[in-house]
Structure 1
Amino acid sequence: MMHIEEKDNAPLSMGEEKNMVMQLLLLNITVFILLFFTEVLYRLEGNTLARYYDNVLLHVALPANITTLLHNPWSLITTMFVHNNFWMIVSNMIWLACFGTMLQHHAGRQRILPLYLLSGIVGAIFYLLGMQLIPSFRELQSFAFTCGAAPSVMALAIGATVVAPRYRLLPNLPIPFWIITVVFILVNIITHVVNSNDLTMVPALIGGGLTGFIYMQQWKKGNDLGAGFNRFSHKITHLFHPKTHLHIVK
């Protein structure tokens, strides 16, 4: 089995340009701030919240209706960076920092972005399938939508647990990492179930979790499912940079 060993598995820090977890945190927070101020401007101009949703939010969030999605296909990607309330982004970013840093430390930063994007897309597909196939959800299609990093965070949580299930965050804390993940999953799903308007998010969480499990299981076997994406993104982002070298460990 062969893995790419990276020498930049740095802890979470504002100044680490190679810290993919921090870059995702900053991107999500930046998008939230931009949307928040856009909403404020809409309200100051006397517009209703519904108009802000119609003109802005529903163009970047994932609609439940397939026909609407065909008009905004980019929402399959943008939805995983969009949060429409404060507590949603606080919760997702805390868990993203926790599980993302854990996975980055044990598996390398090159696993983070491909898994985040892939699980977000799979979560979106599961959401759409749920809205089409589950009778109680089908009635909500005309106006329902979803957004947020929850499916991707679920994938990072499951992925980190697959890589290091018995890892202890604190040496003196006799609780293996997998127990923390189980608590996270239960709290996450229960939160969505209690929130009746958010029950439709459960299929997306399942899709994200399955993606994280399969992705990191394959990586442990030597099959990096994100290798092609990483090579492509490296070429794009280093068109005008000196070539970097990776140290290969067999």
Structure 2
Amino acid sequence: MTSIFDDIKSAFSKGNNALHQLIFINVVVFAVLIVVRTIMTLSGSGSTFGYLMTFLQLPSNLQLFAYRPWTLFTYFFTHLEFFHIIFNLLNLYWFGMLIREYLGDKRLVNLYVLGGLAGGLFYLLTYNTIPYLQLRADRSFMMGASGSVISVMVAAATLLPNYTFNLILLGPIRIKYIAAVMVLLSISGAVGSNAGGNIAHLGGAILGFFYIQQLQRGTDFGRPVQAVLGFFSGLFKPRSPLKVTYKNPNRPYTAAPNPSMPVSSGMAGHPSQIEIDQILDKISVSGYESLTKEEKQKLFKASQK
């Protein structure tokens, strides 16, 4: 048991580890829910467990959602089926590695969270406005990270459309085609038994595409996500002790830079945001293969921030 807690502490204490943290959270929530469901079912409280799950799943009913607004966030960390979570986490790992390598951990988290929110909002919107879905909205709930995952998938395909994965039996396939097939399957499934999940896929896919398009134009609309996460993480970090410094009144402080000192555009060893944006623009036009060795190194360094 001590080893498990040590693993949890290690997973969240290391920097540049967002992909593993997202996977870890999903696995832990899944494991806890499976254990609780088994215990409650064996004890004859299976219906109570089903009721408790409505506090984690996203309801299509707007009145119920108004009393449980947090479900717009909790639903995309919630799974109850083994193959559901395995499929989602494998895709998150494969495509998340690309986003993490070329855009960094923070933007991977942005895509996951914003994709989940977009998928949930799209689900609520369509189930309360489209007649076909309104007829099926009674007691409809949604859970799973599919919207978040397909957001990461489409974002990777938009950023690196010609990057190839070697698939079993199929060989090398460009990820833009993989993403396109997933979107088409989601469109066709919007009138099936899992309409809500496929609707969430489409919301996440739109978000992933739009996010990269705007990022290449120099706008990162995932900054509010980082601001919120930074606020909550700061609540759990110990404050550093205050430092008292002595200032000589005969040598007043001046903010003017020393002309003999070089001025850096960013952190030492890291490229500036302007350089990164230019490299991303080049990737979108000519593909990753067109980058020089120096540009690839700059992109890698930026991902380590």
TM-score category (smaller protein): 0.7 to 0.9
Q: Which among 119, 134, 145 is matched to residue 115 of structure 2?
A: 119
Q: Equivalences for 1:99-114 in 2 at 5 Å?
A: 99-114=95-110
Contact 1:106/1:164 (CA < 8 Å) preserved in 2?
no
Deviates more, 1:57-66 or 1:198-207: 198-207
Alignment-derived partner of residue 259 in structure 2: none
Q: Are the equivalent residues in 1 in contact too, given 2:147–2:203 (CA < 8 A)?
A: yes
2:70 matched to which residue of 1? 74
Q: Please point out which of 45, 60, 74 is paired with 2:43.
A: 45
Gap regions ≥5 residues in structure 2: 1-10, 241-266, 275-305
Matched letter for residue 21 of structure 2: Q
Q: CA 1:127–1:232 in structure 2 vs 1: closer, same or farther (change >3 Å)?
A: closer
Find the counterpart in structure 1 of residue 59 from structure 2: 63
**Alpha-carbon distance between aligned partners in 1 of 2:92 and 2:125, rounded to the nearest angstrom:** 25
Q: Please point out which of 169, 173, 176 is paired with 1:175.
A: 173
Q: CA–CA distance in 2 between the matches of 1:112 and 1:40? A: 34
Query: Aligned-pair distance for 1:236?
Result: 4.7
Q: CA deviation at 1:135?
A: 1.6
Shift of 1:232: 4.8
How far residue 225 of structure 1 moved from its aligned partner, in angstroms, is 1.2
Q: Cα 1:140–1:176, aligned 2, differ >3 Å: closer, same or farther?
A: closer
| Unaligned residue ranges in structure 1 (runs of 5+) | 1-13
Is the contact between residue 107 and residue 163 of structure 1 (CA under 8 Å) also seen in structure 2?
no
Equivalent residue runs for 1:89-108 within 5 Å: 89-108=85-104
Q: TM-score, normalised by structure 2?
A: 0.68
What is the rounded CA distance, in whole Å, between the counterparts of 2:112 and 2:144 in structure 1?
Answer: 12
Evaluate the alpha carbon distance shift between residue 114 and residue 40 of structure 1 in structure 2; reply closer, same or farther with a 3 A threshold: same
CA contact (8 A) 1:167 1:176 kept: yes
CA distance in 2, matches of 1:145, 1:216: 30
Identify the residue that residue 161 of structure 2 maps to in structure 1.
Answer: 165
Identity value in percent = 28
- Give structure 1 regions of 4+ aligned residues with deviation exceeding 6 angstroms: none
- Measure, in 2, the Cα distance between the counterparts of 1:161 and 1:199: 24
Question: Residue 29 of structure 2 contacts residue 77 of structure 2 at CA under 8 Å; is this kept in 1?
Answer: yes
- Give, as a single letter, the amino acid of the residue that structure 1 aligns with 2:135: E
Shift of 1:118: 1.2
How far apart, in 1, do the equivalents of 2:193 and 2:120 lie?
17
1:20·1:109 contact (CA, 8 Å) conserved in 2?
Answer: yes
Report deviation, 1:174.
4.8
| Cα offsets for 1:25-55 (capped at 9, x unmatched) | 000011011111110111121123x33111x
Task: Give me the whole-angstrom Cα distance separating, in 2, the residues matched to 1:68 and 1:93.
Answer: 29
Change beyond 3 A, Cα 1:136–1:169 = closer
The correspondence of residues 1-250 of structure 1 with structure 2, limited to 5 A, is 17-48=15-46, 50-54=47-51, 56-169=52-165, 174-187=172-185, 192=189, 196-234=192-230, 236-237=232-233, 239-240=237-238, 247-249=270-272, 250=274
The size of the alignment, in residue pairs, is 229
Change (3 A) 1:77 1:221: same
8 A Cα contact 2:88 2:145, kept in partner:
yes
- 1:4 aligns with none
What letter matches 1:175 in structure 2? Answer: I
Determine the C-alpha separation between the residues in 2 that align with 1:132 and 1:109. 35
AA at the equivalent of 2:178: I
Deviates more, 1:77-86 or 1:198-207: 198-207
Corresponding residue SS for 2:16: coil
CA RMSD of aligned residues (A): 2.4
TM-score, normalising length: structure 1: 0.82
Task: Tell me the secondary structure at the aligned position of residue 59 of structure 1.
Answer: coil
What is the rounded CA distance, in whole Å, between the counterparts of 2:25 and 2:80 in structure 1?
Answer: 15
Q: Greater Rg, structure 1 or structure 2?
A: 2
